Amino acid sequence: MFKSTILTLPGIGGSGPQHWQSLWEKEYGFIRIEQKEWDTPDRADWVANIQNAVSKYDPIDIILVGHSAVCGAIIEWTRQYQTEIKGALLVAPADPEADTFPTGAVGFKPMPLINLPFPSIVVTSTNDYYVPLDCATQFAHSWGSELVNIGEAGHINVSSGFGKWDEGLEILKKLDNH
């Protein structure tokens, strides 16, 4: 169904078994980039783990699928390594400057605001607890990403009612077919 190498990157806490990322991994064989520390992460460690995972594949075939805080790590990885990949799907990118950003996470500020050298799509909602719509819009604009607003969808996770998330798969296919 997908011709690209899809690497999933959960946010803080990891993605549990009912999260759309976990369900996609199980159904489509997407590969999770595991982190040493899910609950109190250091962005530098996450960036190093992204580089380690990407280096195992042909980068031009890779699509990164990030959710929440890891979106900032993906952008920082891009800034540091300048690796051209096939694309990135950045879902509900948490604002590290917001009061709602989880405590215990280290090095996530500031959010890098660079133009990505590959196609990317930011998916956001109008009522995400971790990122106001105007902030997500600014991120997408700075990154040169297409912005997809899916309405009142919370943080686009299990607690917001998202399981398999077929709409997300359709958005991912746009990058896969690029």
Contact 145, 110 (CB under 8 A): no
Residue by residue, what is the 3-state secondary structure of 94-131? CCCCCCCCCCCCECCCCCCCCCCCCCEEEEECCCCCCC
| Structural domain boundaries in the chain | 5-176
Per-residue pLDDT of the chain in tens (178 residues, 90 and over written 9): 899 999 999 999 999 999 999 999 999 999 999 999 999 999 999 999 999 999 999 999 999 999 999 999 999 999 999 999 999 999 999 999 999 999 999 999 999 999 999 999 999 999 999 999 999 999 999 999 999 999 999 999 998 988 889 999 999 999 999 8
Q: Which residues pair with 32 in a beta bridge?
A: 8
> Does the pTM exceed 0.85?
yes
Classify domain 5-176 at the CATH class level. alpha beta
